[in-house]
Amino acid sequence: SLKGQSEDARSTSSHGTDDVESSSYRDRSPHRSSPNDTKPKCGFCHAGEEENEARGKLHIFNAKKAAAHYKCMLFSSGTVQLTTTSRAEFGDFDIKTVLQEIKRGKRMKCTLCSQSGATIGCEIKACIKTYHYHCGVQDKAKYIENMSRGIYKLYCKNHSGNDERDEEDEERESKSRAKSVADHSAIPQQQQLNGN
C-alpha cells in the first residue's frame, strides 16, 4: 500500500505542474490578448454583449466595473427591481443588490456547467438546483415571467409541474375571497327583499 501512495503523490504532483504549464501557455497564446477581453462581461454568465439577444441587454455599471444581462439579473434570486425612478440607473434594478448577487454568485456553482455565477435557483426551497440563465434554458427548466405581478422565477425540470399548481391555487384563493365578499354583501340585500 505504501508503494501505491507514493505513486499517487507522484501523479498528483506531476499533474500540478501540467496545470501551471498549460495555464501559462494559455496566457501567452494570441487568443488571450484579443481586444474582446477588455469588453465588459456579465457578472453572472461571464459572457458579453454578443449574448444580448438571448439574455437581454448587458447593463454596464462603470463605477464598479460591473456588468450584467437583463435576464441574468431578472431571474436572480436576490436582485430587486425598482420603480421607474431608477430606470436609467441599471435597467430598473437596484445596483446594490445586483453587486451583492454577483458576489454571492461567486460561490454558486451551476448545476449544468459547474461554473460560478449561477444565482437562479429552483423555486422549490428543498431543491438545490441553481443555474445561469442560459443553462436553465438548456436544461429545460421552466421560467415564469409575470410582469404585472412582479413574479420572475425558475422551476427546474423535475419541479416544472409545480408552477401550474401555484398559479391555480392563487387564483382559487382570490376567487374564494371574492366569493365570500359577494356572499356577505348579498345577505343584507336578502333581508331587505324579505322585509318588503
The DSSP annotation for 126-164 comes to: T---EE-HHHHHHTT-EEEEETTTTEEEEE-TTTTTHHH
Q: How confident is the model at residue 58 (pLDDT cuts 50, 70, 90)?
A: very high
The three three-digit cell numbers of residue 73, written as one number: 439579473
Contact 56, 71 (CB under 8 A): yes
pLDDT tens, position by position, 134-166: 999 999 999 999 888 888 999 999 999 876 655
Over residues 85-91, the mean pLDDT reads 59
Lowest mean pLDDT among 5-9, 82-86, 159-163: 5-9
Give pLDDT, residue 34: 47
User: What confidence tier does 44 reach under pLDDT thresholds 50, 70, 90?
Assistant: very high
Report percent pLDDT > 70 for the chain: 60
| Cα–Cα distance for residue pair 140/146, rounded to 1 Å | 19
When mean pLDDT is compared across 5-14, 36-45, 110-119, 150-159, the lowest value belongs to 5-14
Tell whether the model's pLDDT for residue 43 goes beyond 80.
yes
Alpha carbon 165 to its chain centroid, in Å, reads 22
99: cell is 453587486
The whole-number pLDDT of residue 115 equals 98
In this prediction, residue 51 carries a pLDDT of: 98
Average pLDDT, the chain: 77
Q: Tell me, what's the pLDDT at 21?
A: 44
Residue range 58-175 in CATH 3.40.50.10420: no
Are 47 and 19 in contact by the 8 Å Cβ rule? The answer is: no
For residues 61 and 28, the answer to whether their CB atoms sit within 8 Å is no
Cα–Cα distance for residue pair 102/195, rounded to 1 Å: 67
